Structure 1
Amino acid sequence: MLLWTFMTPLLLTAAHMCRAQGCDEFTDLNIGHSFLGTSLRVRLLLYTRENSSCATLLSHTDFSAYPSFNLSRPTSFIIHGYRPTGSPPVWVHELMALLLLRTDVNVIVVDWNHGAANLNYLKAVENTKQAAENLTAFIERMQDSGANLSSIHMIGVSLGAHMSGFVGANLKGAIGRISALDPAGPQFTDKPPEERLDPDDAQFVDVLHTDIDALGYRKPLGHIDFYANGGTDQPGCPKTILSGGAYFKCDHQRSVLLYLGSLNRTCTIRAFPCDSNTEFLDGKCLSCDQFGADGCPVFGYDVSRWKNVLKKLGQTKAFFTTNAQPPYCRTGYKVEVVVWNTDVHWGYMTIKLHHNGTEAVANVDHKSSEFRKFTETTLFAQFDKDVKDVEKMSVTFSTGNVFKPKYKLRVLRVRLTHLELDKTALCRYDLLLEENKEVMFRPVPCEDADF
């Protein structure tokens, strides 16, 4: 949010400069165009570090008139999806600007708003194949002029993800990378690989899923498929239809916001390979030994660092959770609890970490956990912020049973282990937790002979 606050004046200034200098801009249509239907037209808007505030409309056939289009540089294509209202994507300039901040590339915004703006979604789906043929021919001319296909990165959103796949398939999987942000599900689900994105479409394909129960695609499509918050019901998004249009598009659009966060480096999201979101939340997938010293892959732009090992592992599903607002990243800890109650108890825990006035909160409440005498219960606690040095810690135990007697959990030991930093585990011994009562304490380094 801070980055957006900082960049908004810059983007507005850039827009004014574009109009003043006669720069080319993304096609701006309206619901009237969508109602009547639009015929496909593909416009390619070039941005580089030399003209980051002023787009150049590229010819599809002749590159000689564009000295800023340096084919010895890598090229990133940004491809939007379905535009039912005809308006330009609000995120496209920020994504372009962040890519240019990261590295010296050609950024080409693929403007196919004429073709994507149509109340008939099926027609927009049909247009993705023709638009992909257009892009394929353009990239082949780039290759003929000296561009390396391995240096091409396509970032496709929704329908744009599958369009990227069609281009990659046309080029025999030779392009370097496709990043697919919540690939569209309707009209693509259960289709064969040649009718959708698949891992063979590029040398490396990374995918993010945020709306698998509505507008997005559910099954894996790449070398690594990230499922944010299980791939559905993103935190902070409306839960009822009373919220209007945001109810339908918030989960789907969150994919772009998460990717922007990976580019601006406000925080790093570590993802955990796992068979299911349930097992991930249960803390059964916290080991990342198969990835060596780099640990579990991070979501987003920098995941290419893991591409070689991911290609060896085959298709990998990875899970992470986020906050409702930026910064989206959360910090994971393993919490191990041993109790000495005679009877088995079931319940939930809220854990808080404190340092210098900062409080981080983790609610381990996706399901009721079992606490059995002298048996270690492992919880996966994901905190809303990172606390570098834990001064104090609090734990609240609850059962969720309003009408039953209150329980007491007699804790023999609670151990807190940071999942990313190589830090000494922190412990507290001999603790009494009365139901629904927060207990604050100062943890100490765990004893070497800890059981």
Structure 2
Amino acid sequence: MKTLGALLLLSVTLIVALPIEENNEVSEDGYFVPQLDWSLKWMSAEEIKKEQRKTKARNWFNDRPVDFHLYTRKNPKKSQKISADDKKSLKKSNFNNNHPTRIIIHGWQNSHQSELNVVIREALLQVMDCNVISVDWSRKFNYFTLNYLSATYMVPKVGVKVAKFIDFLVDEGEMSLDDLHVIGHSLGAHVSGIAGKNVRTGEVHTIIGLDPAGPLYEDAKNEERLTKDDARYVEVIHTNGGTLGFLEPIGNADFYANGGQVQPGCFKIDVVGLCAHLRSYWYYAESIIENSFKSAKCQGYTSAILNTCHDVIDEVRLGGADNYELASGEYYTPVNEVPPYGRGDKFNMV
């Protein structure tokens, strides 16, 4: 039970407020806001605005850098920190511009050592010789980590810092944007979108949004969240849409696993949708290795949710490496209750 409790504490990304910017509107009534113990507390609009003003007044984040941890097949377990302010850190590292680069961005209460980063990193390094960079914007034990409303304030700021780091890799490391994928989970998916909007050296090839944060982000302006225009190809994997995740399609291709709202095997243990929310990165990691998530093309996301799609496309699979050339629109993806989650050639629609 202690292990499960620790996993919940480290992994949940419960989004119940928009990124805090001066021009954002707050509901006249208020919202349920997650607390450190994961209980939900109703906060009035005035209380939320007060917290936003308090966060802005502290201005803690601007002088606190985001950390970038590099892993390669030469150092698959122990990271090398690279700083955009230190060219030597890049030159001394194992970064290889002849290899593809994958950047992973976590959500609230996570870090570069969280489960998300470990399972995706290990999958990537198993199948390809690449640069895996885990972004750490956790700022452990400070106000931003403990207070959710303050954490949302960081999203656009982290996104800009990630964009500057990408430009640094292009300028100083001669990285090709054609070989860059940015992978973000929940709140980190929106950080990925902000980064894509702000890269000045060109266009990011691919962004993978793993169950992007949903509540109230669904009402956010395009410049405040992930959209299909933030990279050459944006794929979104929905697993807890309408609760912790984004329900409507926002990518070039949107995959609705088991209908995108609840996941098999999660019913008895789920906490506010957490189990289903986390499944997105487990599915993606498995897709990297197995490419076993056959999907059916749908006539819209409502059809994907209701499982009324029938046009099975063998070449297009959730997380597929060639999806940027093949996938568009909405897809329904059936999944198993336990690993392996993908059904492969045993594909069926129930």
TM-based fold match above 0.5: yes
Q: 1:263 is aligned with what amino acid? A: I
Q: Report the 3-state secondary structure (helix = DSSP H, G, I; strand = E; otherwise coil) of the residue aligned with 1:326.
A: coil
Q: Could you tell me how far 1:296 is from its partner in structure 2?
A: 4.5
Structure (1/2) with the larger helix percentage: 2
Q: 1:190 is aligned with what amino acid? A: D
Which aligned pairs between 1:401-416 and structure 2 lie closer than 5 A? none
Which aligned pairs between 1:258-273 and structure 2 lie closer than 5 A? 258-265=283-290, 268-273=292-297
Number of positions where the alignment pairs a residue of Structure 1 with one of Structure 2? 286
Distance verdict in 2 for CA 1:54–1:118, change over 3 Å: closer
Q: Distance in 2 between matches of 1:282 and 1:82?
A: 30
| Match of residue 275 from structure 1 | 299
Q: Report the 3-state secondary structure (helix = DSSP H, G, I; strand = E; otherwise coil) of the residue aligned with 1:230.
A: coil
The worse-fitting range, judged by mean Cα deviation, of 207-216 and 94-103 is: 94-103
Which of 330, 335, 340 does residue 322 from structure 1 map onto? 335
Which of 51, 55, 62 does residue 79 from structure 2 map onto? 55
* 2:69–2:112 Cα contact (<8 Å) kept: no
Q: Distance in 1 between matches of 2:123 and 2:346?
A: 31
Q: 1:60 is aligned with what amino acid? A: A
Q: Distance in 2 between matches of 1:180 and 1:174?
A: 17
Which of 145, 155, 164 does residue 183 from structure 2 map onto? 155
| Match of residue 297 from structure 1 | 316
The worse-fitting range, judged by mean Cα deviation, of 278-287 and 194-203 is: 278-287
Q: Report the 3-state secondary structure (helix = DSSP H, G, I; strand = E; otherwise coil) of the residue aligned with 2:259.
A: helix
| Match of residue 221 from structure 1 | 250
Q: Distance in 1 between matches of 2:107 and 2:163?
A: 18
| Match of residue 95 from structure 2 | 69
Two-structure CA RMSD over aligned residues (Å): 2.9
Q: Could you tell me how far 1:88 is from its partner in structure 2?
A: 4.6
Q: 1:107 is aligned with what amino acid? A: V
| Match of residue 9 from structure 2 | none
Q: Distance in 2 between matches of 1:272 and 1:381?
A: 8
Unaligned 5+ runs, structure 1: 1-30, 335-379, 383-451
| Match of residue 70 from structure 2 | 46
Q: Could you tell me how far 1:280 is from its partner in structure 2?
A: 5.8
Q: Could you tell me how far 1:162 is from its partner in structure 2?
A: 0.6
| Match of residue 99 from structure 1 | 124
- 2:231 is the counterpart of 1:177: no
| Match of residue 277 from structure 2 | 252
CA offset digits 1:212-270 (Å, max 9, x no partner): 1211011111110000111112111135xxx5x744411110111111211231x6010
TM-score, normalised to structure 2's length?
A: 0.73
Q: Which has the higher contact order (CA 8 A, sep 6+)?
A: 2
Distance verdict in 2 for CA 1:117–1:279, change over 3 Å: same
Q: Could you tell me how far 1:274 is from its partner in structure 2?
A: 0.5
Unaligned 5+ runs, structure 2: 1-35, 38-54
Q: Report the 3-state secondary structure (helix = DSSP H, G, I; strand = E; otherwise coil) of the residue aligned with 2:135.
A: strand
Q: 2:190 is aligned with what amino acid? A: H
CA offset digits 1:99-144 (Å, max 9, x no partner): 1111111111101111796343222111011111111111111111
TM-score, normalised to structure 1's length?
A: 0.58
